Amino acid sequence: MSTLSRKVDLNMAIKIINAMIIYANDNELLPGSYAVVDEGGHVVAFERRDEAPAATADIAIDKAWTAATMKASGRILEIISKGQGWRLNVKHKGRLTIIPGAVPIIANARVIGGVGHSGGSAEDDLKIAQAGWTAIFREEGFNAEVEERLSLARKIAKEAIEEVNNRKLKPVTVAVVDEWGHPTLIYRVDGAPFGTLELARDKAWTAAAFKTLSENVSSLYSNMINATNWNERLTPIPGGVPFMYNNKFAGAIGIAGNMPEEDKNLAMDVIKKVGLELLG
Amino acid sequence: MEKYDVVIVGGGIAGLSVARELSKYKVSTLVIEKNEGFGKEMTASNMTLVCQGADSLTFRHGTLHAELNIKSIPLWPKYAEELGIPFKKIGGLGLIRDRIDFFRFMKMYSRAFKSSLKGEESYYIPKGSFEPLQFLDKKTLKDLEPYSNPKIQGALYDPNLAVTDPVKLAVALAENAKANGVEFLLKNEVKKIMREDEYFTIMTNETSVKGSFVVNASGINADRLAEMVKARDFSYIPVKGVLTDFDEDTSEVFKHQAFYLPSLGEPHIKAVVPLIYGGLRVGIHLSFTLRSDKEIPLGAVDHNLGVIKSIAPGYPFEKHIKKTFFGIMPLTNAETGWHDFVVDIPPHVPRWINIVLGPAGVSSSPMLGKKVVELLSTSGLEMEPNPRFSSSAKGGVKG
């Protein structure tokens, strides 16, 4: 008997993202950011296309968060809040994103997660997000062709997940950021606590921001940085590794889920396995 | 390879409504159907209702769902007569349990009058094709339906609601279309479609044909068909609706269509419809599903039995169950519940028309064909009237 999953797992999230990318390509819509979150609103998978504006990343994630935690579509929230939804943004540090393109994932008569898309008009964002969640009702798989940078990030993530299994490590979150520290991909492996999510992303950000291993940041800049607490993303602990692509600094990878040293070794090995060079 | 002006994929109510309408013009048309007969899937598994009354007037204004249904209302009696299909106004009862129900029906009642009976409205219904609704008190309801639950406080009576035989309608449309020159290809499943500059090449398991225009009327598989040429500009969820039929004896028990308003947290529909050939059809247990899921969900039969028992207690319905079956319908905008039809040409694939109907699809049949003809003619298909068109000829198509 064919059944629907009762929760959003990584496979489902990746399927949803692929379906969204295919829909966007088929309809010649602008490339954007694609986010899938679980019931609690925490990212399970996130991807940003090469040509998508960097700022769409958090908009997509926050749309998905809004749909899952409000258990309603952005389109409905927009209407019931009579266009005044932005006033709610004194709450949740501005995360509430009451704009179409935020669609709850409903299965077995329950909201089990959310889908968010950002990058086009509100109308297009909604249609793409709908194409995403309806894909869980399709038997067939979806494989979208993606651009160079995203496809590299996918390779890194795939390799990292394989290595986690080979080394029998605890499930992790893998984050890949571009040279500016903006996320291009985040995958949270089934079983990884949601706390690893921001940790992985922030390790990658730290490595990209200082173009060095994340743990070096404290010593390089002495303890000044920690003391000033100048940026909430700053995470100078092992697990953030910057990499080169085509002899150029191209971004960083952040892994979280195990002991920091293990995360770091994993990240460094993955970079080599994929054929990239470490920075510096 | 045979070449046609229009190739319609799907021999259900959608494809055949279009085929028949096209046969009024000098256009070469082919209908491809994967089954041996017509209307075997969605067309065969629904409430058989023709939304002739307040129900279609309360569909979301501005949607195609509302437009096609409301404009179909005055067309139906002639449509049924020409095609020789049964069409019976049975009347519907919106059952009122409490004050809240009453206020909700008041809204429906006033909206029905406001919307479409005035000449200047966009969805105008000519006088005579719509009789006014009326509220019935408990006693009048009891006189009308002696078996009705004494807990029901009254009802909103809609005399316009009708039933038909959707499968018979599909077959009649096919036969009439055939008599007027439309060709048919049965037991052919479309496997691949290629888009060229001037036409589409459609490959089935048996043959290949060319079509200048393609109408995608493939029902629940409309998304897959559209994806073959990157023409999917819609999304939907397959919704499984489980229905239970009761035998002819039950015809005596209830004579009208009747329903309860949906309540919060209750995902299913509670309605009964007297079928045109006798017996009652009760449902609808709904669930979002994979379309390969062929099982009747646990509790669906109990739900349907519970519905009829709550409408007409005191009759041993459990001894009169004939069959329980399901249909799978596409539901668009499922996350908001604002279902709408899709009848459009995707912006990047000219000469391709997507049709997604779902609930109230059969009711919209008379207007659907006209809508597609309009789309075809605005996108460049020359449509001269077919002088030999006969509105009630039958062509003898197997189905």
pLDDT digits (tens, 9 = 90+) for B44-99: 888 989 888 778 877 888 899 989 998 898 899 999 999 999 999 999 999 999 99
What pLDDT does A279 receive? 83
Measured in angstroms, the CA of A222 and the nearest CA of chain B are apart by 52
Give me the residue from A4, A27, A134 closest to B233, CB to CB.
A27
Of A272, A37, A236, A244, give the one whose Cα is nearest residue A163.
A272
- Note the helical H segments in chain B: 13-22, 54-57, 64-72, 76-83, 99-116, 138-144, 166-179, 222-227, 300-311, 365-378
Give the count of Cβ contacts less than 8 A between chain A and B: 64
Q: How far is CA B270 from CA A119, A213, B52, B379, in A?
A: 41, 63, 19, 43
Of B178, B162, B129, B134, give the one whose Cα is nearest residue B8.
B178
Pick the residue from chain B with its C-alpha nearest to A101. B335
Distance CA B276, CA B164 (A): 6
Distance CA B119, CA B125 (A): 8
- Is A131 close to B235, i.e. CB distance below 8 A? yes
Measured in angstroms, the CA of A214 and the nearest CA of chain B are apart by 42
Q: Which residues does chain A have within 8 Å of residue B287's beta carbon, measured at their own beta carbons?
A: 109
Give me the residue from A23, A103, A109 closest to B267, CB to CB.
A109
Mutate to test the interface with A, among B291, B298, B333, B335 (most CBs of A within 10 A): B335
The sign one gets for the Cα dihedral B229, B230, B233, B239 is positive
Give me the residue from A26, A76, A139 closest to B292, CB to CB.
A139
Residue B190: which H helix or E strand, with range? strand B190-195
Residue B75 lies in a domain: no
Of B181, B185, B180, B189, give the one whose Cα is nearest residue B1.
B185
What pLDDT does B125 receive? 81
What pLDDT does A1 receive? 38
What pLDDT does A9 receive? 94
Residue B323 has pLDDT above 70, yes or no: yes
Domains A10-137 and A148-278 share a fold: yes
What is the arithmetic mean of pLDDT over B126-145? 87
- Which residue type, as a one-letter code, is found at position A90? V
Distance CA A265, CA A225 (A): 25
What pLDDT does A91 receive? 79
Task: Identify whether residues B210 and B242 lie together within a single domain.
Answer: no
- Is A106 close to B288, i.e. CB distance below 8 A? yes
Residue B326 has pLDDT above 90, yes or no: yes
Instruction: Give the confidence band of B399 by pLDDT, cuts at 50, 70, 90.
Output: very low
Measured in angstroms, the CA of B200 and the nearest CA of chain A are apart by 17
Measured in angstroms, the CA of B346 and the nearest CA of chain A are apart by 8
Give me the residue from A27, A73, A108 closest to B335, CB to CB.
A73
Task: Identify whether residues B178 and B327 lie together within a single domain.
Answer: no
What pLDDT does B182 receive? 94
Distance CA B371, CA B283 (A): 31
Q: Which residues does chain B have within 8 Å of residue A26's beta carbon, measured at their own beta carbons?
A: 227, 230-232, 348
What pLDDT does B85 receive? 94
Q: Which residues does chain A have within 8 Å of residue B290's beta carbon, measured at their own beta carbons?
A: 2-4, 137-139
What residue segments make up the domains of chain A, in order of their start? 10-137, 148-278
Cβ–Cβ < 8 Å for B233, B346: yes
SS3 of residue A217 by DSSP: helix
Task: Identify whether residues B151 and B173 lie together within a single domain.
Answer: no
What pLDDT does B132 receive? 83
Distance CA A64, CA A83 (A): 19
**Cβ of B209: how many Cβ atoms within 10 Å?**
21
Give me the residue from A108, A134, A139 closest to B237, CB to CB.
A134
Task: Identify whether residues B95 and B223 lie together within a single domain.
Answer: no
Task: Identify whether residues B277 and B175 lie together within a single domain.
Answer: no
Would you write out chain A's pLDDT as a tens digit for each of its 280 residues?
357 788 999 999 999 999 999 999 999 999 999 999 999 999 999 999 999 999 999 999 999 999 999 999 999 998 898 878 777 777 788 889 999 999 999 998 889 999 999 999 999 999 999 999 999 999 999 999 999 999 999 999 999 999 999 999 999 999 999 999 999 999 999 999 999 999 999 999 999 999 999 999 888 876 666 656 667 888 889 999 999 999 999 999 999 999 999 999 999 999 999 999 888 6
Cβ–Cβ < 8 Å for A71, A107: no
- Is B233 close to A127, i.e. CB distance below 8 A? yes
What is the arithmetic mean of pLDDT over B6-20? 95
Task: Identify whether residues B226 and B93 lie together within a single domain.
Answer: no
What is the arithmetic mean of pLDDT over B180-197? 94
What pLDDT does A229 receive? 65
SS3 of residue B188 by DSSP: coil
Q: Does A213 touch chain B (CB under 8 A)?
A: no
Q: Which residues does chain B have within 8 Å of residue A106's beta carbon, measured at their own beta carbons?
A: 288, 334-335
Residues of B contacting chain A (CB within 8 angstroms): 223, 227, 230-238, 267, 287-293, 295, 333-336, 346-348
Q: Which residues does chain B have within 8 Å of residue A3's beta carbon, measured at their own beta carbons?
A: 290, 293
Task: Identify whether residues B247 and B154 lie together within a single domain.
Answer: yes
Residue B201 lies in a domain: yes
Distance CA A91, CA A75 (A): 20
Question: B-contacting residues of A 24-43, CB under 8 Å?
Answer: 25-28
Residue B84 lies in a domain: no
Distance CA A180, CA B61 (A): 47
Mutate to test the interface with B, among A108, A130, A140 (most CBs of B within 10 A): A130
- Is A28 close to B348, i.e. CB distance below 8 A? yes
By the 10 Å C-beta count (0-12 exposed, 13-18 middle, 19+ buried), A219 is classed as exposed
- Which residue type, as a one-letter code, is found at position A58? D
pLDDT one-digit tens code per residue, B141-182 = 999 999 999 999 999 998 889 999 999 999 999 999 999 999
Residue B212 lies in a domain: yes
Residue B186 has pLDDT above 70, yes or no: yes
Distance CA A131, CA B12 (A): 25
- Is B335 close to A131, i.e. CB distance below 8 A? no
Pick the residue from chain A with its C-alpha nearest to B224. A138
Task: Identify whether residues B259 and B323 lie together within a single domain.
Answer: yes
Please give the distance of CA B346 from its chain centroid, rounded to a whole number.
23
Range of the domain at B12: 2-45+167-233+346-378
- Is A137 close to B291, i.e. CB distance below 8 A? yes
- Is B267 close to A130, i.e. CB distance below 8 A? no
Task: Identify whether residues B98 and B198 lie together within a single domain.
Answer: no
Q: Within chain B, how many helices (H) and strands (E) appear?
A: 10, 19
**Cβ of B319: how many Cβ atoms within 10 Å?**
9
Distance CA B217, CA B377 (A): 18
- Is A23 close to B232, i.e. CB distance below 8 A? yes
Residue B64 lies in a domain: no
Q: Regarding the domain delimited by A10-137, which CATH topology (the fold level of the hierarchy) does it fall under?
A: Beta-Lactamase (3.30.450)
Q: Does A1 touch chain B (CB under 8 A)?
A: yes
Token digits of residue A5: 């999953």
Q: Who contacts A241 (Cβ-Cβ below 8 Å, separation ≥6)?
A: A207, A213, A214, A252, A253, A254, A264, A267, A268, A271, A278
pLDDT one-digit tens code per residue, B289-310 = 999 888 998 899 999 999 999 9
Q: Which residues does chain A have within 8 Å of residue B348's beta carbon, measured at their own beta carbons?
A: 26-28
Query: Among all chains, which residue has been given the structure tokens 């909201």?
Result: A111
How many domains does the structure of chain B reveal?
2
Q: Which residues does chain B have within 8 Å of residue A103's beta carbon, measured at their own beta carbons?
A: 335
- Is B289 close to A138, i.e. CB distance below 8 A? no
Q: Who contacts A12 (Cβ-Cβ below 8 Å, separation ≥6)?
A: A5, A36, A44, A136
Of B396, B391, B398, give the one whose Cα is nearest residue B80.
B391
Token digits of residue A211: 């173009």
Residue B261 lies in a domain: yes
We report the CATH number of the domain holding residue B250 as 3.30.9.10
Cβ–Cβ < 8 Å for B348, A27: yes
Pick the residue from chain A with its C-alpha nearest to B238. A137
Task: Identify whether residues B15 and B152 lie together within a single domain.
Answer: no
Measured in angstroms, the CA of A64 and the nearest CA of chain B are apart by 13
Strands across the sheet with B321-332, in order? B134-137, B154-158, B92-96, B257-260, B270-274, B280-288, B236-246, B321-332
Task: Identify whether residues B106 and B157 lie together within a single domain.
Answer: yes
Task: Identify whether residues B197 and B175 lie together within a single domain.
Answer: yes
pLDDT one-digit tens code per residue, B231-245 = 999 999 999 999 999
Distance CA B177, CA B218 (A): 18
What pLDDT does B108 receive? 79
The sign one gets for the Cα dihedral B114, B119, B121, B125 is positive
3 state SS for B98-132: CHHHHHHHHHHHHHHHHHHCCCCCCCCCCCCCCCC
Measured at the CA of B145, the angle between CA B143 and CA B151, to 5 degrees, comes to 95
Give me the residue from A27, A109, A137 closest to B238, CB to CB.
A137
Distance CA B214, CA A177 (A): 44
Q: Which CATH number fits domain A148-278: 3.30.450.150, 3.90.45.10, 2.60.40.10, 3.90.480.10?
A: 3.30.450.150
pLDDT one-digit tens code per residue, B244-279 = 999 999 998 999 999 998 887 788 999 999 999 999
DSSP bridge pairs for B294: none
- Is B348 close to A103, i.e. CB distance below 8 A? no
- Is B230 close to A26, i.e. CB distance below 8 A? yes
